[in-house]
């Protein structure tokens, strides 16, 4: 289902009233509409299942024949942001690395970035962003060997409550041969370059 912008406008106006604001003052008059348009953009991924995202970005090419069977493809430093499902607060300075071991087909590299971008456009947990990217990658490439490493700051930690400004969270999602220690070492070496 597409985002219902009229409903969002109505509710944001209600929130403004509830926090003691005047939604009709000049600076806020257009805010419900702006928030609705922002939500449409940043939550676009909610309208699609992982299967649908995989079908959108599954452009693949024949893999080189003389490939070593454990050769890793790594796309690192994908910049992203998302919103945590517990506070609807932004997760920012997000850095995502996605690795996989191609079978018969290799996926277009820009598609990996697009997959990461689309699954972050949901109300998320950092742990689930990794799981979703791995799931979509597996569906799009046909490879069960996937690794996703994510670092991010959570504004619900840095800007409220405990206000731990510099803390960031790392998560890993390892599937297939990436559960083996020697493959994780190889991957970490590549990421340090």
Give 120 or 143: the residue with its C-beta nearer to Zn ion.
Answer: 120
- Least distance in Å: CB of 88 to Zn ion? 8
Query: Which of the residues 6, 86, 127, 180 is marked catalytic?
Result: 86
The verdict on whether 87 is a catalytic residue reads: yes
Residues that bind Zn ion (CB under 5 A): 84, 86-87, 156
Give 83 or 174: the residue with its C-beta nearer to Zn ion.
Answer: 83
Q: If 0-12 CB within 10 Å is exposed, 13-18 middle and 19+ buried, where does residue 98 land?
A: buried
Structure-token pair, residue 58 = 């599954």
Give 75 or 159: the residue with its C-beta nearer to Zn ion.
Answer: 159
Residue showing tokens 């569906």: 139
- Least distance in Å: CB of 89 to Zn ion? 5
Q: Which segments within the chain are labelled E, that is strand?
A: 60-62, 73-84, 90-100, 105-107, 123-124, 146-154, 169-174
Q: Which residues are catalytic?
A: 84-87, 126, 154, 156
């Amino acid at each position: 289902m597409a985002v219902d912008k009229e409903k969002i406008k109505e509710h944001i106006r209600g929130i403004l009233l509830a926090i003691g604001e005047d939604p009709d003052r000049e600076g806020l008059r257009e805010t419900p509409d702006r928030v609705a348009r922002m939500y449409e953009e940043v939550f676009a991924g909610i309208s699609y299942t992982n299967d649908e995202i995989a079908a959108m970005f599954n452009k693949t090419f024949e893999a080189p024949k003389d490939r070593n069977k454990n050769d890793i493809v790594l796309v690192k430093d994908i910049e992203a942001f998302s919103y945590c499902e517990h506070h609807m607060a932004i997760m920012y300075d997000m850095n995502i690395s996605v690795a996989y071991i191609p079978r018969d087909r290799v996926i277009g590299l820009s598609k990996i970035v697009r997959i990461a971008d689309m699954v972050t456009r949901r109300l998320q947990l950092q742990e689930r962003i990794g799981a979703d990217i791995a799931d979509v990658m597996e569906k799009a490439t046909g490879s069960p060997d996937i690794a996703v490493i994510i670092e991010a700051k959570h504004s619900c930690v840095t800007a409220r409550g405990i206000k731990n400004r510099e803390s960031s969270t790392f998560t890993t999602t390892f599937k297939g041969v990436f559960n083996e220690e020697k493959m994780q070492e190889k991957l970490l070496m590549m990421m340090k370059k």
